[in-house]
Structure 1
Amino acid sequence: MNKAQRIKNSRIPDQKDTFGGRLPPGQTLTEKFPILHEGEVPEYDLTKWELSIFGEGIKSRSFTYEELMRMPQSTIVKDIHCVTRWSKFDNEFKGIKFLDFLKEAAIEIPPSATHIMIYGDHDYDTNLPIEDLLRDDILLAHSYEGKPLTPKHGWPLRLIVPHLYFWKSVKWLRGFEFMSKDRNGFWEKNGFHHYGDVFKEERFSGEDLDIPEDEWKKKDFD
């Protein structure tokens, strides 16, 4: 049974308080930071680590970690929401806004590009419309709550897309591919919704489901 099917088959938690509409439907609030991912946690030598950008109308380029750390740094405080039904309020992340990354790297979005595939180790990818990455709160994050991200949470760099389910916030970020048409990434090919709006409960492809997953409660926490 795959992950999407396990989520569909589990029970719905009580949701008596939505905190003035701040807590999306079907979510449970936690003060911890659950650790969920596929595969082993990668190990890195930052002298060899690179972030790449390529694809539709884009000159392929790579950036070292040192180059990224010289770009303007920003801090955001946002709520985050996982498709496995947990939400965590007021999370402080520090890193480079995607908008600042484009500006500092002198990257102009070609008119023919409509979507971006985001890549992370190991062989993970997920798709997003370009306009979603152009919001002011999209971050290439290296720190959480004033400290470097732990390896299990995506160090040395992860994407933060707070308005969508957290599988779109790619851990162990390694690249952006500009695309002229949309295509599904890893979880989207395995039963998850192609977009993932948290307030519309866009959890799965092809079905409007309201059945949650509480498996995250059995996972490790930071």
Structure 2
Amino acid sequence: MTVSHGFGGRRRPPRSDLPPGQYDAGREWPVLTAEVTPHLDPQRWTMSVDGLVDTPTTWSWDEMHALPQSDYEGPIHCVTTWSKFGMTWSGVSVDVLLDAVGVQDEAAYVLATSTTGYTTNLPLEHLRGGQAWIAWTADGKPLTREHGGPVRLLVPHLYFWKSAKWVTRLTLLEHDQQGFWEVNGYHDLGDPWREQRYQGD
């Protein structure tokens, strides 16, 4: 894992909206990754939704930007104990993609895949109802490569490893299939308010 310089910023007094075991990173946004940061050409990037859907679909960069867009305003929480507040993200709600492909009744889980091959698993219910986005801007600026740009999955109510960087595919499944960190001992859900960092938490 690569960690940016200055990761251990000065910790701030706890706040009431801070999950247990977390600290407020303030203006810092630490960079962590388990793999080499790729160079992606947005015009060659695609987003696919497949698996247990009626119409598997792949969108180009331009086609994604033509879909209805929405914002998320709020915090993100990393399993390494930092939280960042007051962020604004923009992109397309995962709901828009799911409505377009038609979710089959058997679908209960999603495996998110990045262009690097990284994967992470999530219950489908945690991607619906305005809880998740395919995002390409953060705080009004294009998402940088180090933070998953040009596009990453954003699931802000779960620990941030669930928000797969450089996302390119969502596969709907009947049964749960663990991703990279989950196979290596991280929790299958990752709820920061329940401190679900590792299997068994």
TM-score > 0.5 by shorter chain:
yes
**Larger proportion of strand:** 2
Q: Look up the equivalent residue of 1:112 and give its one-letter code.
A: E
> Relative to structure 2, which stretch is displaced further, 133-142 or 40-49?
40-49
Map of 2:22 onto structure 1 = 27
TM-score (norm 1): 0.81
- Structure 2 residue aligned with 1:139, among 133, 141, 144? 133
Asked if 1 retains the 8 angstrom alpha-carbon contact of 2:22 and 2:82, the reply is yes
Paired residues of 2:56 and 2:101 also in contact (CA < 8 A): no
Asked if residue 190 in structure 1 is aligned to residue 184 in structure 2, the reply is yes
* Pairwise CA distance, 1:200: 0.5
The superposition leaves residues 50-88 of structure 1 with CA deviations (integer Å, 9 ceiling, x where unpaired) of 111111244332110100000111121111100001001
Please show how residues 143-222 of structure 1 align to structure 2 within 5 Å. 143-206=137-200, 208=201
Q: Which amino acid counterpart does residue 23 of structure 1 have in structure 2?
A: L
Aligned length: 192
Match of 2:115 in 1: 121
Is residue 97 of structure 1 aligned with residue 99 of structure 2? no
Stretches of structure 1 lacking an aligned partner (at least 5 in a row): 4-14, 209-222
**Structure 1 residues 86-129: Cα deviation after superposition (integer angstroms, max 9, x where no partner):** 001111101111112333xx221100111010111311011111
| Secondary structure in 1 matching 2:43 | coil
Structure 2 residue runs without a partner (length 5+)? 2-10
Displaced runs of 4+ in structure 1, greater than 4 A?
A: none
> Are the aligned partners of 2:111 and 2:119 in contact in 1 as well (CA < 8 Å)?
yes
In the superposition, relative to structure 1, how do residues 35 and 60 fare at CA in structure 2: closer, same or farther (>3 Å)? same
1:58·1:178 contact (CA, 8 Å) conserved in 2? Answer: no
Question: In the aligned structure 2, how far is the partner of 1:132 from the partner of 1:34?
Answer: 25
| Equivalent in 44, 48, 51 of residue 52 of structure 1 | 48
1:67 to 59, 63, 77: 63
Q: Percent identity?
A: 38
Paired residue type of 1:191: G
In structure 2, how many angstroms separate the alpha carbons of the residues matched to 1:58 and 1:118?
18
Distance in 1 between residues matched to 2:62 and 2:80, nearest whole Å? 34
Higher RCO (Cα < 8 Å, 6 or more apart): 1
The alpha-carbon distance between structure 1 residues 18 and 135, as it changes in their structure 2 partners (threshold 3 A), is farther
Separation in 2 of the partners of 1:185 and 1:44? 22
Task: For 2:12 and 2:147, locate their aligned partners in 1 and report how far apart those are by CA, in whole Å.
Answer: 30
Contact 1:159-1:173 within 8 A present in 2 as well:
yes
Output the aligned Cα RMSD. 1.8
Q: Is the 8 A contact 2:21 2:81 kept in 1?
A: yes
Contact kept, 8 Å, 1:71 with 1:96, in 2: the verdict is yes
Letter in 1 for 2:20: P
CA contact (8 A) 1:74 1:97 kept: yes
**AA at the equivalent of 1:60:** P
- Please tell me whether Structure 1 or Structure 2 has the larger radius of gyration of its CA atoms: 1
Partner of 2:35: 39
Residue 76 of structure 2: SS of its match in structure 1?
Answer: strand
Q: CA deviation at 1:16?
A: 8.6
- Residue 4 of structure 2 corresponds to none
